[in-house]
A and B are shown apart, each in its own frame.
Chain A
Amino acid sequence: MNISLILQMAADTESERIGLVCDTRRWSYGALLRAARGAALNISKSTCSYVALLDESSEAAAIALFAAAMAGVPYVPLNYRLSNTDLGALLSRIAPAYIIADTDRIRQLSPEGRHIVRSRAAFVAEAESMADAAIPTDDPGDGIAVQLFTSGTTAAPKAALLRHANLVSYVLGTVEFGSASPQEAALVSVPPYHIAGIAALLTSIYALRRILLLPAFDPDDWLALAASERATNAFLVPTMLSRVIARMDAGVSAHPPALRAISYGGGRMPTELIERALKLFPDTDFTNAYGLTETSSTIALLGPEEHRVAHASSDPAVRARLGSVGRPLPTVQIEIRDEDGKPLPLGERGEIYVRGDQVSGEYRERSALDAKGWFPTRDAGWIDAEGFLFLAGRADDVIVRGGENISPGEIEDVLLSHPVIADAAAVAVPSTEWGEAVGIAVVTKPNLPPPSEDELRTLIRNRLRSSRVPERIAVLEALPYNEMGKLLRRELRKLFQS
């Protein structure tokens, strides 16, 4: 089933209902469908092989996603924060593409390969002008709907492929059609090239939940839009939530009046931050979502009731679940395996494997699925007695000290409990004695002197085992993050190697 049917069903059911708000423009489902059909006609005429978006979030992202689907070509949202060199290399891999872009940026890139370039305004205007001429075209098939370039850490970015069948099975498995009331509105502030940004368009439209698009995240703009459009739902990555809370603490804005539910994911949520958020938003439902690009977004959820139970519990095992990513969706299976690929019992740490119809695990170059359809996530984790999944960092981030596996997260949690420390990271450092040992980088709160190295070592020795005590300690101004709030551990490892 082609994903364009999602928009078609929404428009058939509630043609006049406002489905998307961006800047000053309000789009009904009917208007979005007409624009997507017009754009699909223009894309088909261009005979391009891909539709690319090199722009911030706007209605053009939604129109392009569905138009590409109707035209039967993959939609490729690109990370506009990449350097011109990196973007140029990606554009050469998708030639010829119909590119919706910031035209100045494209001029700097001067891409080769018969691309067609339209500014956001021109793309939308041309789509709308063709809307009446557009008749439903031939069956566009149900091949590749979305191609996302994963952020390459060591090698060139991989082109992850999501088929219509993967995305549709995610939407049908997690959302009931038309389940949102007309008051519901979801504030979407993740960039369009992130899987959560794409999933938000699909699931919100299928639920008939109005989308409030914030072109680029800023905490003050987020709070203002949440208030003026009465957002009821929002998805945030942990760093975004932390920045929103900082502005509320600074008295910039009051609690968003209609906000009922916040979901978060896309990075590690520090326990301190979620506990703070639960106190600050006592009437808001919190949901932690764990997923990857290659799994069409969410595969495990920690729901609102589970947050409350964990937060209120005095049982350490139950309380610890606040730091878990909850349980697998009913439509996916999750297994923890050892380095030889053998399933591990509950409680033991290994690599997270996932299987299900929404799991693609497919790249342009090869499929990463094993013979039985399991996808190795490269995330490390373990499952507790009640089936809650805990993440323990990327499998590549584990510190192996004299044969003992150490997860950076446990050390970071202890460091963050120190009153002077604002941010902390643990990485592997080379050790002649142990092969690898622990190195930590800490950032102190503004205008506070850092604790002594002895104090930090004692803190970790008292709370954890002696193997966790850091061999190297660095005090930094800030830790290196990418724009989605993911910690760049490779940068820290480099720091300790020099």
Chain B
Amino acid sequence: MKPGTKLKSTVCGTEVMVIRGSGAVVECGGAPMVEERPAEPGSIKPGFAQGTQIGKRYVDTAGTLELLCVKPGQGSLSIGGVPLQLKDAKPLPASD
């Protein structure tokens, strides 16, 4: 994966767009995300079911990876079993 890649969950409806970072294996609901969704969905691993929210950005603790959730689902995002964090949004006034 690299910036611009769309990753899909194999266990729920989640889809994310890679904004920053490359090479990592991102998991959703505990299972690696893929570019082509399988015909039969798998099941969500316990502990990875907090869900994803559309429009939210997710980052790893090192700050090298950033994902934008473009379709929400029940699984939650992780890398190597370590949950990704919601990125803090710093609100700016509308300028257009």
Contacts and interface: CB of A to CB of B under 8 A. Distances in A.
Contacts of B92: 174-175, 301, 303, 329
B90 to A, nearest CB: 7
Contacts of A177: 54-56
Contacts of A142: 4
Contacts of B17: 1, 5
Given A13-B54, A177-B55, A1 B4 contact: yes
A172 B94 contact: no
B49 interface: no
A263 B54 contact: no
B70 A287 contact: no
A22 interface: no
Contacts of B89: 176, 179
A188 B3 CA distance: 32
Contacts of A12: 54, 71
A407 B19 CA distance: 41
Contact of A199 (B55, B71, B90, B96): B96
Interface in A295-317: 297-298, 301, 303-304
A263 B94 contact: yes
B73 to A, nearest CB: 12
B91 interface: yes
A142 B3 CA distance: 11
B95 A9 contact: no
Nearest to B91: A176
A330 B90 contact: yes
B95 A178 contact: no
A177 B86 CA distance: 13
Contact of B70 (A9, A199, A330): A9
A289 B95 contact: yes
Given A5-B17, A5-B70, A13-B54, A285 B93 contact: yes
B96 A298 contact: yes
Contact of B96 (A5, A8, A176, A200): A200
Most chain A CB within 10 A, of B19, B90, B94, is at B94
B57 interface: yes
The size bracket of the interface on A is 35 or more
Given A285-B93, A287-B93, A13 B70 contact: no
A301 B94 contact: no
Contact of B95 (A1, A8, A165, A287): A287
A209 interface: yes
A174 B56 contact: no
Contacts of A188: 96
B11 interface: no
Interface in A394-408: none
A235 B93 CA distance: 12
A82 B96 CA distance: 24
Interface string A172-186: 101111110000001
Given A13-B54, A177-B56, A235-B96, A165 B4 contact: yes
A459 to B, nearest CB: 35
Given A13-B55, A172-B57, A172-B68, A261 B96 contact: no
Contacts of A175: 92, 94
A49 interface: no
Nearest to B57: A172
A207 B93 CA distance: 12
A265 B95 contact: yes
Interface in A220-275: 233, 235, 261, 263, 265
Nearest to A304: B93
A42 interface: no
A204 interface: yes
A95 interface: no
A165 B17 CA distance: 12
Interface in B43-95: 54-57, 68, 70-71, 89-95
A162 interface: no
8 contacts: A1-B17, A188-B96, A203-B96, A261-B93, A297-B95, A297-B96, A298-B96, A304-B93
Given A9-B70, A174-B92, 13 more contacts: A1-B17, A5-B70, A13-B54, A142-B4, A176-B55, A176-B91, A178-B54, A204-B94, A204-B96, A209-B94, A235-B95, A287-B93, A301-B93
Interface of B: 3-4, 17, 19, 54-57, 68, 70-71, 89-96
